Amino acid sequence: MGELFAGVLERGGVRAAVADDAWLQALLDAEAALAGALADVGLATPDEASAVAAACVAERYDAAALGRDAAATGNPVPPLVAALRAEVERTSPGAAAIVHRGATSQDVADTAAMLVVARALPVLCGDLRGAADAAAALAAEHRDTVMAGRTLLQQAVPTTFGLKAAGWMSALDAATAPLRAYKPAAQLGGAAGTLASVHPHGPALTSAYARRLGLAEPVLPWHTDRTRVGALASALGAAAGAVAKAAGDVVLLAQTEVGEVREAAGGGSSAMPHKQNPVAAISARACAGRAAGLVATLLTAMAHEHERAAGAWHAEWLPLRDLLVTVGSAAAWLRASLERLEVDAVRMRANLDATGGRLLAERVAAALAPPLDRAAVHEAVAEAAADRERPFAEALAAHPLLAGHLDVAGAEALLDPTAYTGSAPELVDRALAARAA
């Protein structure tokens, strides 16, 4: 993407974990592990494997040049293998013969992708966890802080800010779980997935290769079985959705007319000196919003032909890296937003009172039906709520159907929002306890 937009769209540590130098080192790590595995099964000497491993240092190679040379072969592995062989031959003549033995380009590239994923996910999950921790702290602190619940962007019935924050927490934790459980797998199949060039050592070589890399050992080569990539993409997409939900709530609650939360370090405007925008939440939404298209691209690219895809595999490379970056950035931004979020309980109460108690209409209707007919009471309360000439309590007490069952004092008692949050506080406790367990 370059540097101009990176400050907003590539926040956090994932960017470095998936940068060109990280990918290049991962490709070389795959080659080094392969050489070591060849020695493990008797197809190379330990000295030869050590010579290859010693040459697998990213700083010795030019990623930009490898990228240019990749145009001739359709992927960057062949030029890298040529450069690696030349480097090994220079330092340890003869050992170059074992470089890349038994592998095909996709073996090394897929394995490198899994190494990059394995190194990036802990960083990404750390920020998701940090955001969830911040949400948990807000939930505990504001367990009983009453605010207006909103449906279809209109005031509905009272809730608590603690319950809203607990919802963010639960969603973030649920989205993090499959990412933490994801097991990147090594890839080794040779030209067409048969490991023919190293027969009969193929299965043993794969085991040694995966073990050296610290990756899961697949039952079969997965050149054209892209369910691993699809599962990762889907999990990242779900995480982006959880981030977008929480960030969107913050943006809405921080609107001037609502003013129920604010970021302690809001951003300014180039034109309006008074502005304090919730930049972290806004940026989290922006990054999360890029994820769905990348997920769709990766899921579409799962249709690989026969034993090697003609283009679908290549279509995965940048979307996978971009998806990791954008979801990682979204998580980092949301963490920053929630960790510095300021909650205005006084404004929340003022907004609750803005409708004159009308968001308690459900409570009034429930209190009067029975003995009165439920449908008739619902209509009567709606008519009283539509009366803007007098306070809601007076309108209720004056309604012909309700007058004999409700006086002004009784109506005012029913319109107390602090007494109609239902199980919200207990639900917060339940969510926090489940998380602690």
Catalytic site positions: 269, 308
Residue type, 62: D
The H or E element that residue 265 is part of is none
Matching residue, tokens 């095909």: 104
Provide the pairing of β-strand 341-343 with 154-160: unpaired
Angle, CA of 207, 213 and 218, to the nearest 5°: 45
Distance CA 81, CA 410 (A): 83
Q: What is the DSSP string of 415-429?
A: T-GGG--TTHHHHHH
Count the neighbouring beta carbons within 10 Å of the beta carbon of residue 119. 17
Burial code (b: 16+ CB inside 10 Å, e: under 16) for 236-263 equals bbbbbbbbbbbbbbbbebbeeebebbbb
The H or E element that residue 188 is part of is none
Is residue 172 within 8 A of residue 335, CB to CB? The reply is no
